[in-house]
Amino acid sequence: MATHEGSIDRLFGSRSHNQSFDMDTRAFVSGVDLLHDPSLNKGVAFTEKERDALALRGLLPPRVSTQQEQVARTLESLRAKPNDLERYIFMIALQDRDETLFYRVLVDNIEDLMPIIYTPTVGRACQEYGHIFRRPRGIFLSTRDAGHITSVLRNWPYKDVRVIVVTDGERILGLGDLGANGMGIPVGKLSLYTACAGVNPSVCLPVAMDLGTNNETLLLDPLYIGLQQPRIRGAAYDLFVDEFVNAVQALFPLALIQFEDFANTNAFRLLRKYQDRACVFDDDIQGTGSMVLAGLYSALRITRQRLRDQKILFFGAGEAGIGIADMIVTALQREGLSGMEARDRVWFLDSKGLVVKNRSDLSDEKRRFAHECEFISNHLSAINALRPTAIIGVSGRGGIFTPLLARITQIHERPMIFALSNPTSRSECTAEEAYRLTGGRAIFASGSPFIPVTLDGKRLVPGQGNNAYIFPGVGMGVIASESRLVVREMFLEAASALAAEVSDHDLAEGRVYPPLRKIRDVSLAIAVATAQVAYAQGLARAPKPEDLRAHIKSLMFEPSYQSYV
């Protein structure tokens, strides 16, 4: 397993990756400096020999603790916190102090801590970012850096960057424009790259592009961390993003760029602009599409039906919905349907009503899915007219499914109900509502976590449709193969690989996704599938190993302390 040794190599020169930390390094980092470096610090786990060799004697309490004792202490402190936001702050502080311990705690308790590190708590953390700000992470780029982005990126201490998550903060989860406060998203996503797929944290770079904000609350908040000016648009915006992408390609030629939480007006066109000339993807479009497709594949194992026989109605027609629909259409075309036949199975309701061809207010992305049909503005009327087998919520409108659940159950024996909006307050319905209002017949998945529901003596476990099932594995596959591009086939294969990890026992409990505790195995399977696409399409720059799975597994970061002497 890969360890933090990669970080040590970067700090101490070009020594072989297999060489251990030895006495020669003490001239570079020792004593207090070592304790203040989160990638190297072991806290009270430094051994007696290490304390003597690295000038740590007296700087630590005398008793040496094991990592497991540190984990126990951490969990005790974490559980004592009064709410999830305080738990988030505690965990980020641990990440800033002892990165290895942070990931050990996270990996071993992923089901409990993912909702703290990422959705739904990260949404609240982003809203409060300026008020809970402790220590900067990543690179902040602002309009003041235009023309000098390369110089700013050179300030990052690690030179072998392999994955970048970047946001402009305009559409954070379902919360809207949070400006520079959106940095919590790249930080959280990259934590999941490491925890879920073993991407070494030293090759990860979170980036927030502060291009202004139109959020009036932030513009008036004296503790806001960003520039208090309106968002730039048009040519100035495009030039800034272009300078950023070009700078990354020059400085970090093997880096994958993940676009995250960009507004609809920019997300699709930026993806189209760069996807064929840079190693980029948009998680809200492609990652979400792959994750939902996997959930549908699993649900169809329960109903014993085919994807081509479904009619899917989306509530919400933003980037997530369109991205999911595009992935479904591509999957249907793989099954032999024409593009038109595939799109006939996908329908949208936006904020005004049904997306139909006689509407004059549709964006280009929506127009691709517009049907020859009478316009319907009422949700229940749309359900009655279309009789969908699945409804997918990406609307950000909490509770919008609730009054429809009884009716959709009258139409279909096992309706598929995917309430995917985040955070929890924006979920289209709760798991409790989905199961009770359908008499336990719903096949349910949600974007936010919900606890199991017991109905008529049967325990039903809602699946959490979290993109963390997809993007870390895809990223690891791209990193391992050093792929030049990220192509759609990677996400199709990722969906199939994820669905294959769902057991019959999972399905019997109502899950359409595997338990999060299996996420490392799931990510490994997805990484292998992704890398295989890169090699098959001639996109890989790394030589293909004889045993691809074993090779990728050997690259996965394991958060265990290493001996420095």
Q: What is the pLDDT along the chain (565 residues), one digit of tens a residue?
A: 454 443 333 323 332 232 233 334 334 688 999 999 999 999 999 999 999 999 999 999 999 999 999 999 999 999 999 999 999 999 999 999 999 999 999 999 999 999 999 988 999 999 999 999 999 999 999 999 999 999 999 999 999 999 999 999 999 987 899 999 999 999 999 999 999 999 999 999 999 999 999 999 999 999 999 999 999 999 999 999 999 999 999 999 999 999 999 998 899 999 999 999 999 999 999 999 999 999 999 999 999 999 999 999 999 999 899 999 999 999 999 999 999 999 999 999 999 999 999 999 999 999 999 999 999 999 999 999 999 999 999 999 999 999 999 999 999 999 999 999 988 889 999 999 999 999 999 999 999 889 999 999 999 999 899 999 999 999 999 999 999 999 999 999 999 999 999 999 999 999 999 999 999 999 999 999 999 999 999 999 999 999 999 999 999 999 999 999 8
Q: Cis peptide before 201, with omega less than 30 degrees from 0?
A: no
Pick the CATH number of 5-65 from 1.20.1370.30, 1.20.1260.10, 3.40.140.10, 3.30.390.30: 1.20.1370.30
In angstroms, the CA 311 to CA 347 distance is 8
Q: What's the confidence (pLDDT) of residue 6?
A: 39
Q: What's the confidence (pLDDT) of residue 28?
A: 60
Q: What's the confidence (pLDDT) of residue 535?
A: 98
- Choose among 335, 329, 342: nearest CA to 289: 329
Distance, C-alpha 396 to centroid of its chain: 17
For this structure, is 118 an active site residue? yes
Name the strand (E) or helix (H) holding 257: strand 256-259
Distance, C-alpha 254 to centroid of its chain: 20
Instruction: Pick the catalytic residue from 88, 103, 118, 564.
Output: 118
- Choose among 222, 191, 224: nearest CA to 205: 191
Topology of domain 286-468, CATH? Rossmann fold (3.40.50)
Tell me if 88-278 shares its fold with 286-468: yes
For the chain, what is the radius of gyration of the CA atoms?
24
Question: Residue ranges per domain, the chain?
Answer: 5-65, 88-278, 286-468
* Burial of 157 from C-beta contacts in 10 A (0-12 / 13-18 / 19+): exposed
Q: What's the confidence (pLDDT) of residue 558?
A: 97
DSSP 8-state code for residue 259: E
Q: Cis peptide before 253, with omega less than 30 degrees from 0?
A: no
**CA dist list (Å): 83 to 35, 116, 129, 209:** 29, 10, 16, 30
Instruction: Pick the catalytic residue from 88, 129, 189, 366.
Output: 189
Name the strand (E) or helix (H) holding 70: helix 67-79
Q: What's the confidence (pLDDT) of residue 2?
A: 52
Q: What's the confidence (pLDDT) of residue 10?
A: 34
For this structure, is 189 an active site residue? yes
**Which residue spans within 380-538 are E strands per DSSP?**
390-393, 416-419, 443-446, 453-455, 458-460, 463-464
Q: What does residue 557 show for φ and ψ, rounded to 5 degrees?
A: -65, 130
> Where are the alpha helices (H) located in 423-487, listed in sequence order?
431-436, 471-481
Superfamily of domain 88-278: Malic enzyme, N-terminal domain (3.40.50.10380)
